[in-house]
Chains A and B, each alone.
Chain A
Amino acid sequence: MASSIHRYEQKMIRQKLADPGEILIGERDAEILWNRDHPDLPVLENIFTGLNINSLLLARPAEPYGTIIDHLARTLPDAITLKDNETRTFLHDIPVVENFTADAVIERLMGRKCVIVRDRGIVTWGAVSPEQTFVNFSSVLFSCFVKFFADHLSLSAGGRLTEEGTAAFEKAVSHLAPFPEITADLKKGPFRKEEDVYEAVSHAGKPVVRYGLVDSVMGNVSYRFHDTLYISQTGSFLDELEGAIDPCPLDNSSCAGITASSELPTHLKIVRNTPYKAVLHGHPKFAVIMSMVCEKEDKCDFAGRCHLNCPDDRTVADVPIVAGESGTGPRAIVNTVPDAVSRHGAAIVYGHGVFTAGEDDFIKPFSLLWNIEKKCREAYFRRLEMTDHHQKR
């Protein structure tokens, strides 16, 4: 248990989600074990007592997330309604409390996986392992980042920016790391042996996380080798895929891959219907933000349902934006992404993330993903500049 809480503490620091000294993480079996001592522990232990849970996390997010969370919690004092589809599916919304007391936090955690304590940080819990607290924390940061930047653009376009909002935005932007110029040391394919495939898949996710393009909990990777798709498992970390890859026969003759990523149907359809063998999926933030930017906004018959059935042919960074939800069913991305990928080598899913593909290895998919996010980030600030000028005029 001790190794588990320290592992996620280190992971948060490594991924720049929180700074050292700002993380309190505890796991409880018969006794509670904390990563360190702190004056806040009595409150947290009371929260443990009030809930039927086994792990608890309190952390002040690192910048720019800290500024973003503070601003959202001030302007939305009850709960933050999310915009992206992925986190909205399981977080629903993020409650906010004013005071860091056990009662206040417990009241909101009774029905949600996380709560933002104003000017203090984020509390998340798990019923199985500290990994849940980490995943929920990371998801809160991702979803708040997307909402913050998307809202700012929208407010700017509508001439509704406030002084406080502008100040928060400028502060957050000042903390954005420069877009990374990188060279990924990915192996050249095609791969001829199964062990090379395992190695290639497990390495493919590392650079996207290392360079901050995608959070580790957000994405999946696959490679077709003969008649089998090797795909990352559901809930696996993109940068820790060793031992978390499922071989799935293309003819479904084994269900051992039932633990594969929820996007397995989309990966399978891509490799079955196109020459591509390597597929990379992640949730780079600016691509997600820009996928939701639409001139029509509320003046559209499909407003509110864009993620399900937007009928327009839209692109960003010359890549098609498609509708659809995760998994299966008539509105699932398996019905939209593979066709777009077959024509363009990549697709952006509305409010969700990016799929890229390559013929023989992950060099091209990685490069495409990097390029899409770079262009989307540039497009965001270019668009903001236009709305700024518009507002000033």
Chain B
Amino acid sequence: MFGWTGRILILDLTDRKYDAACPAPEIYRDFIGGRGLGGNYLKNDITRRWDDPAMPLIFMTGPLVGTLSPTSGRMAVMSRSPLTGTTGDASVGGRFGTELKKAGWDGIIFKGRADGLTGIEIVDQDVVFTDAARFQGLSVSKIQDQLGKQGAFAAVGPAAENGVCFANIMFDGHYAAGRNGLGLVFASKNLKYVSVSGTRRIRVFDRLSLKKAREDILRLGAASPVLMGELGITRFGTAALFDLTHSRRMMPTDNFRRTFFEPAGKINAHAYHQKFGYRKTGCKGCHILCKKKGASGEILPEFEAMNHFSALLNNTDMNVVVNANRICNDMGMDAISAAGTLACCMEIQNRPLAANDIIRLLQDIAMGRGEGKALGRGAFEYAKAHGNPEAAMTVKKQELPAYDPRGACGMALGYATSTRGGCHLRSYTIGNEVLRKPVPTDRFSFAGKARIVKIAEDANAIIDSLTACKFMFFAASLEEYAKALTAVTGFPSSGQELLKTGERICYRERMMNHQNGFTDADDDLPQRFFQSPGSGTAWMGIPALSREDFMMARHAYYRIRGLDEKGRPQAWKIRELGL
């Protein structure tokens, strides 16, 4: 087999045993890897509670991982989400995926629950269960200090141990398997860390063709202003997008009560670089290097954390943003959800959050103490408990990211239809609605957006399955990556064939959510977006979303996706897709 190792590690934590599964080549071909292949191992258990020991937690790499293919050092993490109850997944960078592949494993499926706090250490084909009691309560950075720098590691911090519903699994210190609270599933299995290092090479079917595909992809990347341009992500990190949402007046501010944050121009990416200095860092196998470190080594916040710990909370102190981001990484919490929950709290309590409030509350959430315990359940549950559900800016109970949907109708629809709850990365129509790639579309119109969202969801499901980085697709397309996939695996492929596989992956997620009772009622946005306009001006209006247009677009989306009028899967479509 080329590209894939052909082996998936099955870890039984209850009995401290491990085994290897060897999927048939057709399974690999049909679901590729990452989110696609992971979903295959999730579907039969998806109706279990997230903390049922039999609920699998899945790490799954893709066929391109560990090869020359650009931006392919990623991995998917999957299980059922404790935060949303939906199918849960995250695409994570760092070195873990590459090390796992080099160790000879395409993925890991964790099952069962260990007796005591446990670690797993994988070196090539050797797997050791360790007693991790000494790590109890330790932050991610302290675990990193103890594990050393060999290979890669995944771990949870105190937030997961203390039941925070948006706890992350952190990789290599600061790469988050974010959203959906999958850290809580990790902790429910009494796992504290997993380390891995590998020494093998990934077999590639046709190295020359892979080199050609790589050159094509890199050439497109070099010509992309968003990626490699003077003001792009390589230079400024994802923080570069901060000025963009500011200038388009679609910056979530004050818990989405406004869309413009006056001081934003003074706390933008340039300001962070001036104040903290910067150097580039990034995932294994990636040339974009979107992560930025300050001169003294601190991780600078990415766009979402940058927005949510400033504009969303009416905070202008960059030190607080950096510190809040550090706490989230170190405690193992999702920054978007943490900040979104604080913003909800701020609105419900009708009082501003001072800098020290933000830091204190984050620490309280992570430690499960005081008010932090209630906040740790996420904005939806917090607002509901306080009799003010309208203050939770969530979709399927997941806090919304840093693009106000009133500023981009495709994003509005994509937030609603996302199978993992409020998420910008499922359809990421910001590419065409704001970044003008591959061509610009009218961001204030729902016209045509149903199919755009559907196609983009399919494409992103493939990107999460290859497993590559979505940023690269601001420049390249599946057309180029299909060439890389064929070169690596030897399986014939094309951009359009991959989209068909993406459709199957997305539809199967809809089926899993349907099994857990999700319907059209869950594919919706908070009412605020339909009732209140954003912070527009005479020359750039930011009107409230038209409920009628949204409903029509959602209805069109269901038709295009092959769902019934309630958003439920249909037998004919399931048959058509071979699911």
Cβ B220 vs Cβ A256 within 8 A: no
* CB nearest neighbor in B for A331: B222
A325–B452 Cα distance when bound, in Å, is 31
**In the complex, which of the residues B230, B432, B441, B483 has the most CB atoms of chain A within 10 Å of its own CB atom?**
B230
Cβ B440 vs Cβ A255 within 8 A: no
Asked if A113 is an interface residue, CB under 8 A from chain B, the answer is: yes
* Interface residue from B216, B455, B479, B559 paired with A30 (Cβ < 8 Å): B559
Asked if B458 is an interface residue, CB under 8 A from chain A, the answer is: yes
Cβ B437 vs Cβ A234 within 8 A: yes
Q: Interface residue tally of chain A, by bracket?
A: 35 or more
Contacts A110-B497, A254-B243, A325-B223 given; indicate if A264 touches B230 (C-beta within 8 A): yes
Q: Which B residues touch A29, using CB under 8 A?
A: 447-451, 556, 560
Q: Give B423-451 as 1s and 0s: 1 = Cβ < 8 Å from A's Cβ atoms.
A: 00000000010111111110000011111
* Interface residue from B225, B242, B556 paired with A259 (Cβ < 8 Å): B225
Cβ B448 vs Cβ A1 within 8 A: yes
Q: Which A residues touch B240, using CB under 8 A?
A: 255, 258
Cβ A258 vs Cβ B231 within 8 A: yes
Cβ A132 vs Cβ B494 within 8 A: no
Asked if B156 is an interface residue, CB under 8 A from chain A, the answer is: no
A231–B536 Cα distance when bound, in Å, is 24
Q: Which A residues touch B225, using CB under 8 A?
A: 234, 258-262, 264, 327
Cβ B244 vs Cβ A259 within 8 A: yes
Cβ A258 vs Cβ B222 within 8 A: no
In the complex, chain B residues 499-537 whose Cβ is within 8 Å of any chain A Cβ: 499-500, 503
A104–B437 Cα distance when bound, in Å, is 29
Cβ A326 vs Cβ B222 within 8 A: yes
* Interface residue from A110, A234, A264, A332 paired with B222 (Cβ < 8 Å): A332
Q: Which A residues touch B497, using CB under 8 A?
A: 110
Asked if B232 is an interface residue, CB under 8 A from chain A, the answer is: yes
Cβ B436 vs Cβ A234 within 8 A: yes
Cβ A254 vs Cβ B496 within 8 A: no
Cβ A254 vs Cβ B265 within 8 A: yes
**In the complex, which of the residues B436, B449, B450, B482 has the most CB atoms of chain A within 10 Å of its own CB atom?**
B436
B318 to chain A, nearest CB (A): 15
**In the complex, which of the residues B220, B231, B268, B450 has the most CB atoms of chain A within 10 Å of its own CB atom?**
B231
Asked if B241 is an interface residue, CB under 8 A from chain A, the answer is: yes
A255–B269 Cα distance when bound, in Å, is 8
Q: Which B residues touch A264, using CB under 8 A?
A: 225, 229-231
Asked if A46 is an interface residue, CB under 8 A from chain B, the answer is: no
Cβ A327 vs Cβ B229 within 8 A: yes
A131–B442 Cα distance when bound, in Å, is 12
A375–B432 Cα distance when bound, in Å, is 39
Asked if A279 is an interface residue, CB under 8 A from chain B, the answer is: no
A126–B477 Cα distance when bound, in Å, is 12
Cβ A1 vs Cβ B447 within 8 A: yes
Asked if A387 is an interface residue, CB under 8 A from chain B, the answer is: no
A332–B224 Cα distance when bound, in Å, is 12
Cβ A126 vs Cβ B439 within 8 A: yes
Q: Which A residues touch B458, using CB under 8 A?
A: 52
A255–B237 Cα distance when bound, in Å, is 11
Cβ A52 vs Cβ B503 within 8 A: yes
Cβ A89 vs Cβ B219 within 8 A: yes
Cβ A132 vs Cβ B244 within 8 A: no
Cβ B494 vs Cβ A260 within 8 A: no
Cβ B452 vs Cβ A54 within 8 A: yes
Q: Which B residues touch A328, using CB under 8 A?
A: 222, 228-230, 234
Q: Give B228-260 as 1s and 0s: 1 = Cβ < 8 Å from A's Cβ atoms.
A: 111110111001111110110000000000000
Asked if A6 is an interface residue, CB under 8 A from chain B, the answer is: no
A168–B575 Cα distance when bound, in Å, is 51
B residues with CB within 8 A of A: 216, 219-220, 222-226, 228-232, 234-236, 239-244, 246-247, 265, 268-270, 432, 434-441, 447-452, 455-456, 458-459, 479, 482-483, 494-497, 499-500, 503, 555-556, 559-560
A residues with CB within 8 A of B: 1, 4, 27-30, 51-54, 89-90, 92, 109-113, 126-129, 131-132, 135, 233-236, 248, 252-262, 264-265, 268, 325-329, 332
Q: Which 4 A-B pairs have the closest CB atoms?
A: A111-B494, A327-B223, A110-B494, A30-B556
